[in-house]
Chain A
Amino acid sequence: MIKKQSKHIQALLDTVERSPRLVVWISVFCAMIFLAGYAILASLLTSMEILEFSVKIPWATMIATYIFLVAIGSGLCIINALGSVFGMQRYEMMTRRMAFLSLTTILFGMLCIVLHLGHPERMPIYNAISPNFRSAISWMGMLYSIYMGVVVVELWLLNREDLARRAENSEGLVKKILTLLTLEKLRGTRIGAVLEDSRLPRVVALLAFVSGASALSMLGSVFAHSESRLLWYGPYYPVYFLVSAIFSGYAFLIVVTIVTYRVKNNEIFRGLKAVIFEMAQVLALILAVGFLLIIIRLATGLLDPTSRGPVMLLINGPFSIGFWGFEVGLMSVLPIYVFIWAAEKKSLNGVLTGSIMVLVGTFVMRYQFIVAGQVYPNIPHGLPSYWPTLMEVFVIGGVIAAFLLVYTLGDMFLSLKEEKSPHVT
């Protein structure tokens, strides 16, 4: 007997029928998540050693992926503040996409670190009962938790009207859930008045900016506090993390926006195009600042005899290809030229290529930063070597697939499309 399918399942089936590409897209992600699940289960049943075998380099690709994703999320938070805090209306139209991307990248970045921990279940308990206020990880955890809470409120405020509209058009249980989510019952009460206050979104956005930026600089401090890791130690990395987060956030936003529009066969309207070209110019400027910071890091590292060793590993050691090829070439010098050229010629493909270059370069930079930082100093018997294991790659692939899946679903079910923002009062 064929049951009468609900309207929503029918709508989903229609979508699938319309675009078989989506089915392939989602199936690939599901397969990757399955592989990651297998790796995690195997690590639980046997030993955690199968995720990474290097004892001397305990923080590896998973931590690099964590920083990569979380820095993008925090960068998006900072860029989002241009519109929602500093009142730039052309950025404000992208605020939904940015807030959603920021939340999901940080969430999945956090998933990376949770899977990397020995006992993740103890983290929330003991971080609440006995936090160490001298520990940067403890602060980072607290600040990112606050940030994620604030962004959820921000997203809810941005989508409240939309939820109300959907609740009106639906029926049954879905209507009940949607009505509950809109907190319709609070209208008319004192709390309801606060929620409808036109200043609230700006206050929430300001809170998100402050907590997001401080959480990110605290993430830099996690490494910069390690006095015994000469490459990480010092006041440089909290600053560089902020700058690198902004440029990776910009690059990520550009790639995701252009790819989403192209995949959905939507045309990018002129206003958005103009913003993208403006973002490319700003990105070129920030990349130049980042490059300047890299030069300062090299100079200070080489001038100080104690930290010359680790810096030489980057310049003229096992990490030199990644440093010169990716960190300097692909992440800094080449994209600056590409962005200036593309913004001049109004070439979206140019901007897209430049942004992808920045993202690839940034990932390699994060990996190098993590791994090279732990090589020196170490117990003698030569420099420890490290290469990601297959299981580690499975887990990272799964996390990225899960992120893309959630973004795809979010783009389908939440209205992330660029439009004039309700922030404007």
Chain B
Amino acid sequence: MNRRRFLQLMAGAPVAAALGTVNVAGADTLRYGMLADSIRCIGCKRCMSACKRWNNLRVERDELITDRDTHLSANNWKIINLRADAKNRAKRGYVQWSCQHCIEPACAGVCPVTAIKKLANGPVVIDEKKCIGCRYCFQACPWKVPQFDFEKRVTRKCHLCYNRTLLNYQKPACVAACPVGALAFDYRHEIILEAHRRVERLKRPSYIMGLAEAGGTDLITILPAEPKDLGLIAAPKKVVNHNLDKIRVTASGILAASVIAGAMYVYAQVTRDRDEEIDDQKAE
């Protein structure tokens, strides 16, 4: 590290600490990731079932039948749907959809009571005992994942089984249940390598989602086509500095408020003589 770099870091440290964006050195190698291979998936929905069993979620009637369309809900943290490319119907696969565990989660940035945290080893977790149920995380999420539970009155979503992986060094329930290895769990850099290996082996154009979307996610999905052609939400592929962006947006309001205050001052000064007129009228 040269002197200039050191000074830059020192200057940026207090601001970064205040905004909560300190990147731990080597965090990428410590972080877990999950692979969802929609080309290998057979749509058996055992992962959904295992997720419900581990997390004690309610099972709705008929939702675990293969090929039945399912939606994310407070009791459905992971869904498997058959999706086909709009341009070429032959290109299709069982797409699994759940929390993408963004590297810079927008939901954690907007939660007013810091109930959402990105754990150092990967999972984005909602503390259900702290959640006030405002649903701001749903609005901010680029994937529209966190779902409000109308009975528990909190927002719930996949937490990458942090309570299994952390405590017992086990795989998440869904990964352990997959009979064909369409789901895999490892360190993120290993998962990315595995995704590239699988795509190479396929020898047909496919798409790896999660490398750059929403600034990168810990869930890597292999898709048969681009997300928007499959009818999935396509998060923008850009790295947004949420904190700087928020400051920029907020500053516009403060600037406008100052302009309005200035206009009010001018209005008060210009029409000062009217006060006297009205006082005279009142006296009459």
Binding site for B on A (CB under 8 A): 47-49, 55-56, 58-59, 78, 81-82, 86-90, 116-120, 122-123, 126-127, 130-138, 141, 209, 213-214, 216-218, 220-222, 224-229, 234-236, 238-239, 241-243, 246, 269-271, 274-275, 278, 282, 306, 374, 377-381, 420
- The CA of A58 and the CA of B139, in the complex, are separated in Å by 9
Binding site for A on B (CB under 8 A): 18-20, 69, 71-73, 106, 109-115, 130-136, 138-142, 144, 147-155, 231-233, 235-236, 240, 242-243, 245-246, 248-254, 256-257, 260-261, 264-265, 267-268, 271-272, 274-275, 277-279, 281-282, 284
Shortest distance from the beta carbon of A57 to any chain B beta carbon, whole Å: 10
- The CA of A236 and the CA of B136, in the complex, are separated in Å by 19
Is B153's CB under 8 angstroms from A118's CB? yes
- The CA of A136 and the CA of B260, in the complex, are separated in Å by 22
Q: Which chain A residues border B272 with CB–CB below 8 Å?
A: 88
Shortest distance from the beta carbon of B130 to any chain A beta carbon, whole Å: 6
The chain A residue sitting closest to B214, CB to CB, is: A228
Closest 3 CB pairs of A and B: A118-B133, A238-B253, A217-B253
Is B140's CB under 8 angstroms from A226's CB? yes
Known contacts A213-B260, A214-B254, A380-B232; is A228 also within 8 Å of B115 by CB? no
Shortest distance from the beta carbon of B116 to any chain A beta carbon, whole Å: 9
Q: List 14 A-B contacts (CB under 8 A).
A: A87-B268, A118-B132, A122-B132, A123-B132, A130-B113, A133-B18, A136-B110, A138-B112, A138-B113, A213-B257, A218-B253, A225-B250, A274-B281, A379-B144
- The CA of A246 and the CA of B148, in the complex, are separated in Å by 34
Q: Which chain A residues border B251 with CB–CB below 8 Å?
A: 235
Known contacts A225-B250, A226-B110; 19 additional CB pairs below 8 A are A47-B150, A48-B153, A55-B148, A82-B268, A86-B267, A118-B132, A118-B134, A118-B155, A119-B132, A123-B113, A131-B113, A132-B114, A213-B260, A217-B253, A221-B250, A234-B249, A243-B256, A270-B284, A380-B231
Q: Which chain A residues border B265 with CB–CB below 8 Å?
A: 86
- The CA of A245 and the CA of B232, in the complex, are separated in Å by 37
The answer, among A134, A220, A242, A374, for a CB contact under 8 Å with B243, is A134
Q: Which chain A residues border B236 with CB–CB below 8 Å?
A: 306
Is B132's CB under 8 angstroms from A120's CB? yes
Is A130's CB under 8 angstroms from B134's CB? no
Q: Which chain A residues border B130 with CB–CB below 8 Å?
A: 122, 126, 130
Is A228's CB under 8 angstroms from B278's CB? no
- The CA of A90 and the CA of B282, in the complex, are separated in Å by 11
Known contacts A374-B139, A379-B71; is A132 also within 8 Å of B111 by CB? yes
Is B252's CB under 8 angstroms from A58's CB? no
Q: Which chain B residues border A131 with CB–CB below 8 Å?
A: 112-114
Q: Which chain B residues border A55 with CB–CB below 8 Å?
A: 73, 147-148
Q: Which chain B residues border A136 with CB–CB below 8 Å?
A: 110, 246, 250
Is A135's CB under 8 angstroms from B136's CB? yes
The answer, among A81, A118, A126, A216, for a CB contact under 8 Å with B154, is A118
Is B142's CB under 8 angstroms from A126's CB? no
Known contacts A90-B275, A133-B18; is A78 also within 8 Å of B260 by CB? yes
Q: Which chain B residues border A135 with CB–CB below 8 Å?
A: 109-112, 136
- The CA of A235 and the CA of B278, in the complex, are separated in Å by 40
Q: Which chain A residues border B253 with CB–CB below 8 Å?
A: 214, 217-218, 220-221, 224, 235, 238-239, 241-242
- The CA of A228 and the CA of B215, in the complex, are separated in Å by 13
Q: Which chain B residues border A138 with CB–CB below 8 Å?
A: 112-113
- The CA of A229 and the CA of B235, in the complex, are separated in Å by 11
Is A81's CB under 8 angstroms from B110's CB? no
- The CA of A252 and the CA of B260, in the complex, are separated in Å by 19
Shortest distance from the beta carbon of B145 to any chain A beta carbon, whole Å: 10
Shortest distance from the beta carbon of B272 to any chain A beta carbon, whole Å: 8
Is B139's CB under 8 angstroms from A229's CB? yes
Q: Which chain B residues border A122 with CB–CB below 8 Å?
A: 113, 130-132
Q: Which chain B residues border A380 with CB–CB below 8 Å?
A: 231-233
Is A228's CB under 8 angstroms from B141's CB? yes
Shortest distance from the beta carbon of B171 to any chain A beta carbon, whole Å: 27
Q: Which chain A residues border B19 with CB–CB below 8 Å?
A: 133-134
- The CA of A385 and the CA of B249, in the complex, are separated in Å by 29
The chain B residue sitting closest to A58, CB to CB, is: B135
- The CA of A241 and the CA of B254, in the complex, are separated in Å by 12
Is A217's CB under 8 angstroms from B250's CB? yes
- The CA of A58 and the CA of B145, in the complex, are separated in Å by 12
Known contacts A118-B132, A379-B71; is A90 also within 8 Å of B274 by CB? yes
- The CA of A379 and the CA of B236, in the complex, are separated in Å by 15
The chain B residue sitting closest to A238, CB to CB, is: B253
Q: Which chain A residues border B149 with CB–CB below 8 Å?
A: 118
- The CA of A213 and the CA of B250, in the complex, are separated in Å by 12
Is A127's CB under 8 angstroms from B113's CB? yes
Known contacts A227-B245, A235-B248, A278-B274; is A119 also within 8 Å of B112 by CB? no
- The CA of A90 and the CA of B271, in the complex, are separated in Å by 10
Shortest distance from the beta carbon of A397 to any chain B beta carbon, whole Å: 22
Shortest distance from the beta carbon of A93 to any chain B beta carbon, whole Å: 9
Is A126's CB under 8 angstroms from B113's CB? yes
Shortest distance from the beta carbon of B201 to any chain A beta carbon, whole Å: 30
Is A271's CB under 8 angstroms from B278's CB? yes
- The CA of A82 and the CA of B268, in the complex, are separated in Å by 7
Q: Which chain A residues border B150 with CB–CB below 8 Å?
A: 47-49
Known contacts A213-B257, A226-B140, A228-B142; is A126 also within 8 Å of B115 by CB? yes
The answer, among A88, A117, A118, A134, for a CB contact under 8 Å with B242, is A134
Q: Which chain A residues border B271 with CB–CB below 8 Å?
A: 88, 278
Is B278's CB under 8 angstroms from A274's CB? yes
Shortest distance from the beta carbon of B151 to any chain A beta carbon, whole Å: 5
The chain B residue sitting closest to A48, CB to CB, is: B150
Is B114's CB under 8 angstroms from A86's CB? no
Is B250's CB under 8 angstroms from A218's CB? yes
Q: Which chain B residues border A274 with CB–CB below 8 Å?
A: 274, 277-278, 281
Known contacts A123-B113, A217-B250, A278-B274; is A86 also within 8 Å of B264 by CB? yes
Q: Which chain A residues border B249 with CB–CB below 8 Å?
A: 221, 224-225, 234-235, 238
Is A239's CB under 8 angstroms from B256's CB? yes
Known contacts A86-B264, A134-B243, A271-B279; is A238 also within 8 Å of B250 by CB? yes
The answer, among A119, A126, A217, A234, for a CB contact under 8 Å with B254, is A217
Is A225's CB under 8 angstroms from B246's CB? yes
